[in-house]
Amino acid sequence: MAIERKKADAIIKGYKKRKSALLQWNFIVPVTVLFLLVLTAILAPKLAPHSPDLTSLTERLLPPFFANGGGTTYLLGTDLLGRDILSRVIFGARVSLSVSMMVILITAGIGTILGIIAGYLGGRTETLLMRVTDVSLSFPAILIAILLAVILGPSFWTVVAALSLLGWAPYARLIRGEALRLRQADFVTQARIIGSSPMRIMTRHIFPNVINPLIVLATLQVGMVILTESALSYLGAGIPPTTPSWGNMVADGRNQIDTAWWISFFPGIAIGLVVLSGNFLGDWLRDKLDPRLRQL
């Protein structure tokens, strides 16, 4: 009996050790990638070896340095107009990060406010806000963005407006559920008894307790916003083609994928790394910030 218990303890200990190591890598790798993204966006003019808009038709479609015909002047090769792929990827990080941060700030702010109001006040207010949320969740963001691009023209602010117009709904749904749970908590009841106003309760008691799930969702949305922005740019409804963005670069190389694969490959790798990093970091934060998962 004692031997079986020791074996079981050893198995549990080994499982916890492997899980701890996995969680560490789930934190270290995505944080490193996202930190490099932010650093690259900030220092883009200093890191880029060439101007992202500088063309040279005599040096068009040069392969990366490790391929036959490549050189160290253009480490990742050039595109159809002779523009440096590495420089455009670096400046594309600035565009993607700017769009992502703007959209997340707007959507998280609107969604959090509406979610707290709906969850705490309840009644007709909750019903109205949640029906609006349901309608927002039913519309595809890409179609709305294409419609806005037709009306307003492709631009940075068109992308931000299109993604923000519907992007607040997941935040409102999540925060409303948290507010419903918190409004029955003892500290909220005590605040209500001593005469605290609904505004004070929502701002001083409920909001601080929904920050953890809010951070998790915002982290998960970083990659999704960048992916959606890239898809819009690829379709011609996002960032204008003259501005270096990862989606535009993928679109530029779609017709040359057999002969000049590097035009689309490197920005595509950048998009994939950022999306995966955001997802892994969001999962790690969820495991750390959720007390129910922390015990597993």
pLDDT at 13: 53
Q: What's the CA gap between 62 and 260, in Å, rounded?
A: 8
- Report DSSP letters for 30-85, one per residue: HHHHHHHHHHHHHTHHHH-SS-TT---GGGTTPPPTTSTT--SSSTT-B-TT--BH
Q: Are 86 and 74 in contact (CB under 8 A)?
A: yes
Q: What's the CA gap between 185 and 179, in Å, rounded?
A: 10
Q: What percent of the chain has pLDDT over 70?
A: 90
Instruction: Dump pLDDT digits (tens) for 101-113.
Output: 999 999 999 999 9
* Average confidence score pLDDT of the chain: 84
Q: What's the CA gap between 212 and 66, in Å, rounded?
A: 45
Q: Are 171 and 111 in contact (CB under 8 A)?
A: yes
pLDDT at 84: 92
pLDDT value at 219 more than 50: yes
CATH number of 54-291: 1.10.3720.10
pLDDT at 110: 94
Alpha helices by DSSP H, the chain = 2-42, 44-47, 85-121, 123-138, 141-152, 156-167, 169-182, 186-193, 198-201, 211-235, 246-252, 262-289, 291-294
pLDDT at 292: 55
Q: What's the CA gap between 151 and 167, in Å, rounded?
A: 20
pLDDT classification of 290: cutoffs 50, 70, 90? low
pLDDT value at 291 more than 70: no
Question: Does the predicted TM-score (pTM) go above 0.75?
Answer: yes
> Nearest CA to 167 among 234, 220, 237?
220
Instruction: Dump pLDDT digits (tens) for 130-143.
Output: 999 888 888 887 78
Q: Any idea what DSSP says for residue 209?
A: G
Q: Are 282 and 219 in contact (CB under 8 A)?
A: yes
pLDDT at 296: 45
pLDDT value at 3 more than 80: no
Give me the mean pLDDT over the 19-40 stretch. 77
Give me the mean pLDDT over the 47-71 stretch. 87
Q: What's the CA gap between 142 and 150, in Å, rounded?
A: 12
Residue ranges per structural domain of the chain: 54-291
pLDDT classification of 122: cutoffs 50, 70, 90? confident
Neighbouring residues of 178: CB distance < 8 A, sequence distance ≥ 6: 115, 119, 209, 210, 213
Which class for 84: exposed (0-12), middle (13-18), buried (19 or more C-beta within 10 A)? buried
pLDDT at 31: 87
Q: Which residue has the higher pLDDT, 139 or 90?
A: 90
pLDDT value at 272 more than 60: yes
